[in-house]
Amino acid sequence: MPVAVARVFETRGHEVVPFGDVLQRGSPDVVVCRAAEANDAVLIAFDKDMKAIARRLGITGERFKRLNLIHFQCPEPQAARRLTEAMSFVEHEWAWGEGKGARRIHLSIGAQVLRTYR
């Protein structure tokens, strides 16, 4: 994720662990998703095909049902600004999902759209 996006999370008191600190670049998507899920982390994705990856990995079903995912669908240079604008939405969805037995959050942040998948 861009450093500016990480800073937005950090300024709001959230811990950021860069991907490269825990997994090798090029790790299979399944490994990345399992690592995020096992560590109760939020996976931040900029993949243009993340929706297809999520579907393929079964994130919408029983598999990875506790995976936390924020998918940016805006250009990376806009991401920090969009996250700043959407942070109350992100934190609200996190709080809403805390007591649920399924995946906590699955959000898309686009250039003009915020979307949650509950």
Find out whether 110 and 73 touch, Cβ atoms under 8 Å.
Answer: yes
Mean pLDDT along residues 3-8: 95
- Check residue 57 and give its pLDDT: 57
pLDDT band with cut points at 50, 70 and 90 for residue 53: low
CA dihedral 113, 104, 14, 2 (to 10 degrees): -50
What angle in degrees, to the nearest 10, is found between the helix axes of 50-57 and 29-38?
80
**pLDDT at 50 exceeding the cut of 90:** no
Q: Provide the pLDDT for residue 38.
A: 85
- Cα 116 to Cα 26: distance, rounded to the nearest angstrom: 28
Nearest-CA neighbor of 4 among 72, 113, 79?
Answer: 79
Please tell me the least confidently modeled range out of 32-36, 54-58, 80-84, 114-118: 54-58
CB 102 within 8 A of CB 60: no
- Predicted structure pTM score: 0.82
Q: Where are the domains of the chain?
A: 3-116
Which stretches does DSSP call E strand in 46-88?
68-73
Q: Give the model's confidence band at 54: pLDDT under 50 very low, under 70 low, under 90 confident, else very high.
A: low
Reported as a single tens digit per residue, the pLDDT across 64-78 is 667 888 999 999 999
Residue found by looking up tokens 């999902």 in the block = 97
